[in-house]
Amino acid sequence: MPSEFQLISQYFHRQRQDDSVILGIGDDAALLQIPEKEVLVATTDTFIVGRHCPERTSAYAIGHKALAVNLSDLAAMGARPRWVLLAISLPDSNEDFLREFSAGLFALADEHGVTVVGGDTTKGALSITITALGTVPRQQALTRHGAQVGDGIYVSGTVGDAGLGLQVALGKTVTLTTEQAAYCQARLDFPQPRLSLGLALRGLASACLDISDGLAQDLGHILQLSNVGADLALDQLPLSSPLKTLPPADTWQLALAAGDDYELCFTLSDENFAKLVAVDVPMTRIGTVSQALGLRLFYQGQPQDIDMTGYQHF
Ligand code: ADP
Ligand code: MG
């Protein structure tokens, strides 16, 4: 049976050329160089199999997603991701799991130029906590509290796919083709952190967050912290073709209240929208920030009443 240190060196210690890492894995703590005139952006998320993903999720997807949700938080802040710490507890040294898990994690880390600089490995119920660190020039971080009356409300990509993917994964009857089902499951298992969009929004978006618990609930955080309201047009919601096969009420429920899409939702003045450079993901205007508090929904101009409670742990 490999020791804790053999596991670390075999699965988590990878050499990577990164001048910002003065000292990485192997000492009591890492030493990291923050670029001049930038500030550190820090976030952490715990990932529990069975709670944050279905039990049957592959180890490769768990490695991807545990990191992706953290990088998504950095994207939402307009940060450039740089370093990651990985705390993992495992019931046993299952090397098949570790090989696949680390392959999924490092594939995403490499894609975004992120270095794993430390962590902790313990025995216990499977639990993964990742801390992601990034940097952003002073005063340029995107926050939840700056939305202004009249700003457009936008989302990246499409919404509701991961929620539909979860229904597929849990075997709830949905009438999708094999291809559509696979697409939605991939959206659930392999969320793509919208990092280039976050960078493009620096200095332009008045507020931004990533959608982890459902569009309506998460947009609600921006509205509350910015002390504004919003009018949303349901007919403008960006939907994938699988979502469009459902009855409208189910589609809206998934698009507004299902979590795990990890798209960005942001507010932007028309003036700043014109300055936005093209990025690798489409964005869609879905509404407008209003003075009247609360969230109002319209379909073809008609007010709609929909229960939109998003995901809550407690
Ligand atoms: P300490 O006891 O001083 O906290 P450890 O013996 O736990 O140090 O870890 C040894 C080194 O390996 C440290 O640099 C730590 O950051 C790193 N490390 C431990 N577990 C992991 C992991 N799962 N992934 C990446 N680095 C790890
Ligand atoms: Mg120590």
Ligand nearest to the CA of 3: 1
Ligand nearest to the CA of 26: 1
Do 204 and 127 share a domain, yes or no? no
| Concatenated DSSP letters of 164-186 | HHHHHHTT------HHHHHHHHH
Contacting residues for 131 by C-beta, under 8 A, at least 6 apart = 42, 43, 44, 70, 84, 85, 86, 87
Do 205 and 270 share a domain, yes or no? yes
Q: Identify the helix (H) or strand (E) that includes residue 287.
A: strand 283-290
Q: Which of 7-11, 72-76, 170-174 has the lowest mean pLDDT?
A: 170-174
> Among the three residues 104, 137, 170, which one is the final residue of a domain in this structure?
137
pLDDT at 307 over 80: no
How many domains in the chain?
A: 2
CATH number at residue 52: 3.30.1330.10
Do 132 and 160 share a domain, yes or no? no
105 lies in a domain? yes
Do 180 and 121 share a domain, yes or no? no
Mean pLDDT of 3-12: 92
177 lies in a domain? yes
28 CA from centroid of ligand 2 (Å): 4
Nearest-angstrom CA–CA distance, 157 and 287: 15
The answer to whether 191 and 72 have CB atoms below 8 angstroms apart is yes
Structure tokens at 47: 């990932």
Domain that holds residue 229: 152-304
Do 50 and 110 share a domain, yes or no? yes
Percentages helix, strand, coil for the chain, rounded to the nearest 5? 35, 25, 40
310 lies in a domain? no
226 lies in a domain? yes
Q: How many CA atoms lie within 13 A of 127 on its CB side?
A: 10
247 lies in a domain? yes
Query: Measured at the alpha carbon of residue 74, what is the angle toward residues 68 and 80, in degrees to the nearest 5?
Result: 105
313 lies in a domain? no
Nearest residue by C-alpha to atom 8 in ligand 1: 28
Do 239 and 268 share a domain, yes or no? yes
The pTM for the full model equals 0.95
**In this structure, which residues have their CB less than 5 angstroms from ion ligand 2?**
28
Percent of the chain with pLDDT over 70: 98
pLDDT at 2: 86
Q: Give ligand 1 pocket residues (Cβ under 6 A).
A: 8, 12, 25-28, 86, 88, 116, 118-121
248 CA from centroid of ligand 2 (Å): 56
